[in-house]
Amino acid sequence: MSLTFESQENQLTPLTGYWCLPAEHFGSVDQQVLTDLYLPLIGAKAFSIYQLLWQKVPNKQLISERESHSTLMSLLDMDLNTFRNERVKLEAMHLIKTFAKSDDLGEFYIYQLFAPYSADKFLNDDILSVFLYEKIGETQYQRLVEKYGHSQQVLDGAQDVSQSFLSVFKLNDNDLLNTPATVSNAQQQFVAKTTQKPFIPAQQVKDYDFDLIESRTTDIFHVSKDSLLKNQELIYSLHEFYGISEVSMIDLIGETMNIVDNTVDPEALKRVAQKRFEGKANAHARVQDTPLETDQKPPLRSNDPNALLIQRAKSTNPADFLAEEKQQRNGFVGDSESRALRTLVFRQILNTPVLNIMIHYVLQIAPALTTALMETIANDWKQNGVKTPEDALKRINEFQNRPRGKRRYNQAPRKIEKATDWSKVKSKPVTTKDSSSAEQSRQEMLRKLRNKDK
């Protein structure tokens, strides 16, 4: 049975079954990498879901004996929406793949579990390393690099004197020539079960001239071609997020290159690209002694503000769009905003024009971008099939025209305390007995005070 993303998500209920299928083994080293490198990116809730799914891998159970999602949600103390929103983070990080299926017992999900990347592969991946750098900052990032770095210098000049397998262990010659049937059958089963681990593909930017960057950087700065090709994905990623032109990218590579071996320095390239963007985005927010005169661009001729907004959304990269929106509001781009936006860009949940519409909308209802609010809106738009900026504006309009009782994206339930109706409070009448008792108490107090002064 084939289901679209929207329909299968709508059919997920606490009673929907699930089945965990490991694609790889998950060991203690994987656990360490998951905690150090993945936890800052996916957060504690998604981390808990991933750990629990590994614990729920069946041990000789039949698929007809599967549990329902209510079991997971009870153990995790999560509602359905929270579970779904956190699960997609695991999918985006390629820690799990989700499949929908049905049988005689009804609909159920299959969660195929993948081990995390090795530390070397993670830190060499341009998108993941940039994502982690943005999340934890330069100091913590450098500590992790030092923790997982391996120096090979000690092996310089050393001779490999290790023994081979057959020089140590002896096997039956007949078994070597004719593999036993039991072993052959087992090998075929494991080959059939082997699954290619998914990887994060390089962003394909059709209108970006990488050949120009390659030829100019090799001619001017003598950067090695192998180094450029190794960092091609990083160059595309920085262009996609910051909108860095070919000429500017050539200048950045030359400024940050390793002059010892004429190679691209990816960490320096990321750092300088970010600082240049933040300096450019927040230049208008700094106090100037003398106002600068700038040439005003002629406004686009259109009577429809939505048409102007859509045109901007389609022609501007997210970083510049955020900077323009902030400048219009006399604000500045904060570090957390830059990280929140970059997170969505690199996860490729929404395309650039739709993401720009989200930026415009969020800044109308909040002073700054936040990860929680943007992920909430992104989930809503994804589940409602928003694919173009026109779709996004239509969805916003639908949301804003809901009855007042319907909750908005950024609304939280308000606690209303019942005030005291003082008109219904009546004073207690004073009786003669009460008055006499009060007078006696007053006289006794005065007597004690006079005796104290003597």
Q: What is the domain partition of the chain in residue ranges?
A: 5-117, 121-147, 210-281, 305-400
Angle at 259 between CA 257 and CA 265, to 5 degrees: 30
- The rounded Cα 63 to chain-centroid distance in angstroms is 32
- Mean pLDDT along residues 224-248: 84
**Dihedral over Cα of 131, 137, 138, 141: its sign:** negative
Residues present in the chain in total: 454
For the segment 42-68, what is each residue's pLDDT rounded down to a tens digit? Answer: 999 999 999 999 999 987 778 888 999
Place of tokens 């983070």: 89
Sort 215 into a burial class: Cβ within 10 Å, 0-12 / 13-18 / 19+: middle
- Angstrom distance (rounded) from CA 117 to CA 130: 15
Architecture of domain 5-117: Orthogonal Bundle (1.10)
> Do 6 and 385 touch, CB atoms closer than 8 A?
yes
The pLDDT-based confidence of 181 (bands split at 50, 70, 90) is: confident
Sort 314 into a burial class: Cβ within 10 Å, 0-12 / 13-18 / 19+: middle
Q: What is the pTM of this model?
A: 0.44
For residue 101, what are the β-bridge partners?
108
- Angstrom distance (rounded) from CA 362 to CA 318: 13
Residue 447 has pLDDT above 60, yes or no: yes
For the segment 112-134, what is each residue's pLDDT rounded down to a tens digit? Answer: 999 999 998 898 887 888 889 88
The beta-strand segments (E) located in 205-307 are none
The pLDDT-based confidence of 292 (bands split at 50, 70, 90) is: very low
The pLDDT-based confidence of 284 (bands split at 50, 70, 90) is: very low
> Do 17 and 66 touch, CB atoms closer than 8 A?
yes
